[in-house]
Chain A
Amino acid sequence: MLSEILIIVIRGIAIGSIFATIAMSFNIVHGATNIFNFAQGNMFILGGFAAYFLANQVGLGQWSLMLLLTGLGIAAVVAFQGYITLLPLRSSVEQDSWLISTVSVSVIVAALLMITQGPFAYSVQSVVPSFRIFGTRTPGAYALAIAAMIFWFFALRFFLRKTFIGLAISALSQDFDAARAAGLPVRRLQLIAFAISGLMVGTVGFLVAPVISVSPDAGLKYVLNGFVAAVVGGIGSNAGTLIGGPLVGVVAMLTAYKVGGAYQDLASLLVLVLILMFRPQGLFGRVGARRV
Chain B
Amino acid sequence: MQATANVQTGPVSMAETKPKGRFNSDLTQVWIGVALIGITGFGPMIAGNSYWIHTFQLVNIYIAAAIFQNMLFVDAGQKSFGQGAILGLAAYVAAILFGLHGWSFAAASLGGLFAAVLGGLLFALPALRVQGFHLGFVTMSAAIVFPQLLVTLDKWTNGINGISVSVPALTNPVVFGMSPLSIAVAVFPMIALFVHYGVRRSKLGRSMFVAALSPEAARSLGIKPGVMRFLAFIVASIGTGICGILYLPTVAFVSPQGFNIELSFVFFFAVVVGGRGQMLGPIIGIWIVYILPNILLAGFVEYRLLMYGCLTLLAVMAFPDGIVGSAERLRAKRKQSGGGEQAFRIDGFLADLQAGKTVREPSDEIAVEVRNGTKKFGEVVAVSAVDLKVRKGEVHGLIGANGSGKTSLLNVLSGLSRLNTGSFMINGVDATNMAADRIANMSLGRTFQAPRIFSQLSLWDNLKIGMDARVGPASADVTALAKAMEESFGQDSATLLSHGQRRLVEVMRTVLKEATIVLFDEPAAGLSQSERTNFANLVKFLSRQMGKTIILVEHDLDLVWGIADTITVLEQGRVVSSGKPDVVAKDPAVQHMFVGSRHA
Chain A interface (Cβ < 8 Å from any Cβ of B): 36, 38, 84, 87-88, 92, 94, 96-97, 99-101, 103-108, 110-112, 114-115, 220-221, 224, 227, 231, 260, 262-263, 265-266, 268-269, 272-273, 276-277, 280, 289-290, 292
Q: Given A97-B320, A104-B309, are A269 and B302 neighbors across the interface (CB < 8 Å)?
A: no
* Chain A residues with CB below 8 A from B130, complex form: 276, 280
Q: Once the chains are docked, how many angstroms separate the CA of A61 from the CA of B521?
A: 66
- Which listed residue, A94, A105, A115, touches B320 by the CB 8 Å rule? A94
Interface of B is mostly: helix
Contact between chains at B407 and A273 (CB < 8 Å): no
What would 19 more interface pairs be, CB under 8 Å, given A100-B316, A105-B313, A262-B152?
A87-B317, A88-B316, A88-B317, A92-B320, A97-B316, A97-B320, A100-B268, A104-B308, A104-B312, A107-B309, A108-B310, A108-B313, A112-B306, A115-B306, A224-B144, A227-B137, A262-B149, A268-B141, A290-B417
What 8 A-B pairs are tightest by C-beta distance, nearest first? A108-B309, A107-B309, A111-B306, A111-B305, A262-B152, A104-B312, A104-B313, A269-B141
Contact between chains at A111 and B142 (CB < 8 Å): no
Which B135-183 residues sit within 8 Å CB-CB of chain A? 136-138, 140-142, 144-145, 148-149, 151-152
Q: Can you list 27 A-B pairs with a CB-CB distance of less than 8 A?
A: A84-B317, A87-B317, A94-B320, A96-B276, A97-B316, A99-B133, A99-B136, A100-B316, A103-B268, A104-B313, A105-B313, A106-B309, A107-B309, A110-B305, A111-B303, A111-B309, A262-B148, A265-B141, A265-B148, A273-B126, A276-B126, A277-B125, A277-B129, A280-B129, A289-B377, A289-B378, A292-B411
- Contact size class for B? 35 or more
Task: Determine the residue in chain B with the shortest Cβ distance to A265.
Answer: B145
* Chain B residues with CB below 8 A from A87, complex form: 317
Q: Once the chains are docked, how many angstroms separate the CA of A104 from the CA of B312?
A: 6
Task: Determine the residue in chain B with the shortest Cβ distance to A230.
Answer: B137
* Chain A residues with CB below 8 A from B142, complex form: 269
Q: Given A260-B152, A266-B148, are A105 and B141 neighbors across the interface (CB < 8 Å)?
A: no
Contact between chains at B144 and A220 (CB < 8 Å): yes
- Minimal beta-carbon separation of B578 from chain A (angstroms): 24
Q: Once the chains are docked, how many angstroms separate the CA of A292 from the CA of B149?
A: 43
B134 within 8 A of A: yes
> Which of B142, B305, B310 has its CB near the most chain A CB atoms (within 10 A)?
B305
* Chain A residues with CB below 8 A from B378, complex form: 289
Q: Once the chains are docked, how many angstroms separate the CA of A221 from the CA of B151?
A: 17
Contact between chains at B129 and A276 (CB < 8 Å): yes
Contact between chains at B305 and A269 (CB < 8 Å): no
Contact between chains at A292 and B312 (CB < 8 Å): no
Contact between chains at B152 and A108 (CB < 8 Å): no
Contact between chains at B316 and A276 (CB < 8 Å): no
Contact between chains at B149 and A266 (CB < 8 Å): yes
- Minimal beta-carbon separation of A168 from chain B (angstroms): 24
Q: Once the chains are docked, how many angstroms separate the CA of A8 from the CA of B136?
A: 31
* Chain A residues with CB below 8 A from B312, complex form: 100-101, 103-104, 107
* Chain B residues with CB below 8 A from A103, complex form: 81, 136, 265, 268, 312
- Which listed residue, A92, A105, A263, A265, touches B144 by the CB 8 Å rule? A265
Q: Once the chains are docked, how many angstroms separate the CA of A106 from the CA of B133?
A: 15
- Minimal beta-carbon separation of A32 from chain B (angstroms): 15
Contact between chains at B134 and A231 (CB < 8 Å): yes
B261 within 8 A of A: yes
Contact between chains at A224 and B137 (CB < 8 Å): yes
* Chain A residues with CB below 8 A from B316, complex form: 88, 97, 100-101, 104
B535 within 8 A of A: no
Q: Once the chains are docked, how many angstroms separate the CA of A88 from the CA of B316?
A: 7
Contact between chains at A272 and B141 (CB < 8 Å): yes
Q: Once the chains are docked, how many angstroms separate the CA of A103 from the CA of B134?
A: 14
Contact between chains at B79 and A96 (CB < 8 Å): yes
- Which listed residue, B261, B276, B303, touches A115 by the CB 8 Å rule? B303
Q: Once the chains are docked, how many angstroms separate the CA of A101 from the CA of B310?
A: 10
- Minimal beta-carbon separation of A214 from chain B (angstroms): 18
Contact between chains at B125 and A269 (CB < 8 Å): no
Contact between chains at A114 and B305 (CB < 8 Å): yes
B437 within 8 A of A: no
Q: Once the chains are docked, how many angstroms separate the CA of A84 from the CA of B268?
A: 20
- Minimal beta-carbon separation of B322 from chain A (angstroms): 10
Q: Once the chains are docked, how many angstroms separate the CA of A231 from the CA of B448?
A: 31
Task: Determine the residue in chain A with the shortest Cβ distance to B448.
Answer: A292
* Chain B residues with CB below 8 A from A100, complex form: 268, 272, 312, 316
Which B73-124 residues sit within 8 Å CB-CB of chain A? 79, 81
